[in-house]
Amino acid sequence: MVAMADVAAAIRRLEDVVPRLHAEYRIPGMAVGLCDISGILWSRGFGTTSADTDQPVTTATRFSIQSCSKMYTALCVLLAVRQGLLDLDRPITDYLPGFRVNSVFEDRPELQITLRHLLSHTAGFTHEAPEGSNFLVGRTSFAAHCASIANTWLRFPVGHHYEYSNLGIDLAARVVQQVSGKRFERFAQEELFDPLGLERTTFDHRVISADNERAIGHDPDIPRPPLRMPMVGAGGVYTSIDDACRFVSAHLRGQVAGLGPAELAELVTVPYGAPDQVLGYGLGTVVAEVDGIAIHGHSGGGFGFLSDMYWAPEAKLGIVVLTNSEDHDLPWRFATGVIGDLVGRQPTSAQEPLPTVTIPPSTMHAVTGQYVGRFDVVDITATDEDCVFTRAGASTCMRFIDPRTFAGEDRPSDRFALRDADQDGDPWYLTSLTDGTTWYRNALPGMGTQDGPADGPWNRTYAVRRNGTRVATVRLRRGIGGTVIDDRYGNTLRLTRHRADLYVSSTGEALDLARNPITYANIRLERIS
């Protein structure tokens, strides 16, 4: 545990540093708190609940914590398991018998999907639903949002790997609602929030909208971010800094609403990972390592808010940072920096020599190409002597442990696997064996640089709108060499035809030409040229 003298010194620094950061990043309002197994060590609000008011942020001000809500939803599932209502490893069709979902990989995939898949983002779901999403809230209810998931297409076979998605978490909340006979918001209140004494925490948007002491989200792209979210389980919690610290403190003690250490261990156990993989995503909870320090928790962002809630289990220390704007990257860097300063950054252990094998040039050339992930792109290039791995502008020679597993020459402890293969022997996926991050092989057709004439949906540009505001463009292109989509992140992705009105990109996302308007990854595309 961290010495109290060190904590007191850290609090004095925070009292000085946080106001300066608040001003530097031009955040309307923020709240920061430190906690340990005994409870709140220090908490304070800074700024105002909105840029348009002088109402100060206090330790009771409610903030939207967005995806940090997933930790709360996972706990509700475990509470329902404890009550005998659920089993993590039974098919969800046992609880939602009418549920269906589409897949190009297998028939009746829903019969294989379990709650463990849903909570660990390994079921294969994309991120957005056709109804009620980050891009179009509208008047869609939680029930209608969950029902629309049946019209989505899985990006990969059930259980194959991890890929972050709101849909699985929302379906898990829907299952709890179904088996308990209570609205999910009420179940969470009675079974989780009330036992923990969290009086300023709720999933219920009606409670939030009636609260005059809540922060207002600020998004540079959306003038008035919606308050109500159909994605209740994935991002619906509002909480105060003091309640968030109480929540983290309960995890540090290993007792949360009657759940003990053995049950809570489920949250931080990474399922379906590579052998020896301990980092990644457990059940609704991130399992990470920063500066050699193990941390658990979650980050959240959207609808004008950014938040981070993390704890160092060995040091018995937690930190929460809540803000009501999202045009900055302060919470994660600040939260992990404070933990590193207090706990002490761990020295990198000496790395053992990497056992390597020599593979033929033909094998090296077979794995070359572009691999597209959620946040970045990896390029693998080869000569007759070496393969080079490039990520975020940094390159390193690849040292093969076997023909499908390698590590970078500069960081031999970070290992990667080239997974599955098509009929030509080319891999479909690149996966980190450290934390489960996956990139999708993007074998681009030779289309040249000149678009052909507009033809139906092809060789046209489309707008992507987020709750009414145009935030990006997408282009669908078809040429002699093939068909591609220039996506909203600036990637050009191969499209493969599955049926006349449905194409699947190299990242597994569906382009559905049968919908009006057409959709890509369930996001509507509005034709503009």
**Residue 275's pLDDT band (cuts 50, 70, 90):** confident
Average pLDDT of the segment spanning 365-369: 89
270 within 8 A of 282, measured Cβ to Cβ: yes
H or E segment to which residue 210 belongs: none
| Per-residue pLDDT at 245 | 98
State the Cα–Cα distance between residues 505 and 474, nearest whole angstrom.
13
Q: Which of 50-59, 135-144, 251-260, 472-481 has the lowest mean pLDDT?
A: 472-481
Q: Which of 91-105, 215-229, 484-498 has the lowest mean pLDDT?
A: 215-229
Q: Which residue has the higher pLDDT, 462 or 425?
A: 462
**Residue 350's pLDDT band (cuts 50, 70, 90):** low
| Per-residue pLDDT at 378 | 96
pLDDT (tens digit per residue) in 126-180: 999 999 999 999 899 999 999 999 999 999 999 999 999 999 999 999 999 999 9
State the Cα–Cα distance between residues 417 and 406, nearest whole angstrom.
7
Q: Which of 56-60, 294-298, 344-348 has the lowest mean pLDDT?
A: 344-348
* Backbone φ, ψ for residue 288 (5° rounding): -130, 175
State the Cα–Cα distance between residues 505 and 316, nearest whole angstrom.
44
Residue 88 has pLDDT above 70, yes or no: yes
pLDDT (tens digit per residue) in 477-517: 998 778 999 999 999 999 999 999 999 999 999 999 999 99
Q: What is the pTM of this model?
A: 0.95
Average pLDDT of the segment spanning 362-366: 85
CB proximity list for 393: less than 8 A, separation 6 or greater? none
Average pLDDT of the segment spanning 17-37: 95
State the Cα–Cα distance between residues 472 and 526, nearest whole angstrom.
11
| Per-residue pLDDT at 349 | 57
pLDDT (tens digit per residue) in 429-445: 999 999 999 999 998 77
State the Cα–Cα distance between residues 390 and 378, nearest whole angstrom.
6
| Per-residue pLDDT at 399 | 92
Asked whether the bond before 517 is cis by omega within 30 degrees of 0, the reply is: yes
Using alpha carbons, select from 71, 29, 34 the residue that is nearest to residue 214. 29
| Per-residue pLDDT at 450 | 60
| Per-residue pLDDT at 10 | 86
